[in-house]
Structure formats: structure tokens, C-alpha cells
Amino acid sequence: MNLEIHRSEKGKNVFLDLIGELDMAGAPVLRQSIVQEVAKGNIFIVIDFSGVHFIDSSGLGSIIGGLRRVRSNQGDLFLTGIDDELQKVFRLCELDKIFCMDSVRETFSG
């Protein structure tokens, strides 16, 4: 099993807690989950990476696509729980400049 997603809601935000590795196998799982949320009108999505300790360019691609989907519906995508190893990959690809990230999950609980 590459990637498991646990869903919850708080306020206007939908939380997707990821567990596993976000790679070529896991990316379609996350992509589909975001597509379903947007289709239901849930356009403010928080992805919690606390349970993820590996991400590659396929995984990054799935959240870039997710950001495009929610923003095209006037929503937004937030990232939390990103450890140092993942942070390094985000920085390398300069994606820390386009995603709203915070290490504290409660930041997005409003």
C-alpha cells in the first residue's frame, strides 16, 4: 500500500491526512481525492503530510494539479506537517514559493 488518505472537516476546510509515500503510485490516489472534493464544492483543502516521509516529482505534480483545480474554483490548497526531508524537495523545486505552508496544523482549522 503506497498511500492512504484519511478525510475530515473543520470549519470550511477539508483535511486530507496522508499516510505512506507520495510517488508515481500514490499521486493518482491524491489527485482523485482532490478532484472529488472540488466536485462536491469543497475548495479549501488542507493536506497534512505528517504521515508522509517520501515525495518525488510525481507526488509534487499531484499537488500542483490540486492547487490549480482549487484556485480555478476560487479556493485554495494548504500544506502542513512537512518534515525536513520533504521540505528540501519543495525548496529544490521552488514550490515553497507557491504553496501556503505551515508546520502547525491548527493554523488551518478556522
Partner 1 sequence: MTDEIEISIPVRVDYVQLVRAVVGSLAATNPELSTARIADLRLVISEALTNAIRAQEKNSISERLTVLCKLTDLAVEVEVRDKATGFEVDSIPDLPPTESPERLQHERGLGLSIMREMSDGLEIKSGPDGTVVHMTINSSNSNNS
- The residues binding partner 1 (CB under 8 A) are 2, 21, 23-25, 54, 56-58, 60-62, 64-65, 67-68, 71, 85, 89, 92-95, 97-98
Phi, psi dihedral angles at 59 (to 5 degrees): -65, -45
Distance of closest approach, residue 34 Cβ to partner 1, in angstroms: 12
Using an 8 Å Cβ cutoff, are 67 and 77 in contact?
yes
Between 39 and 98, whose beta carbon lies closer to partner 1?
98
Distance of closest approach, residue 77 Cβ to partner 1, in angstroms: 11
Distance of closest approach, residue 107 Cβ to partner 1, in angstroms: 22
Between 3 and 16, whose beta carbon lies closer to partner 1?
3
Burial 13-38 (b: 16+ CB within 10 A, else e): bbbbbbebbbbeebbebbbebbeebb
Between 39 and 93, whose beta carbon lies closer to partner 1?
93
In angstroms, rounded to a whole number, what is the distance separating the alpha carbons of residues 42 and 25?
24
Closest listed residue to residue 76, CA positions, set 98, 59, 57: 98
Distance of closest approach, residue 28 Cβ to partner 1, in angstroms: 9
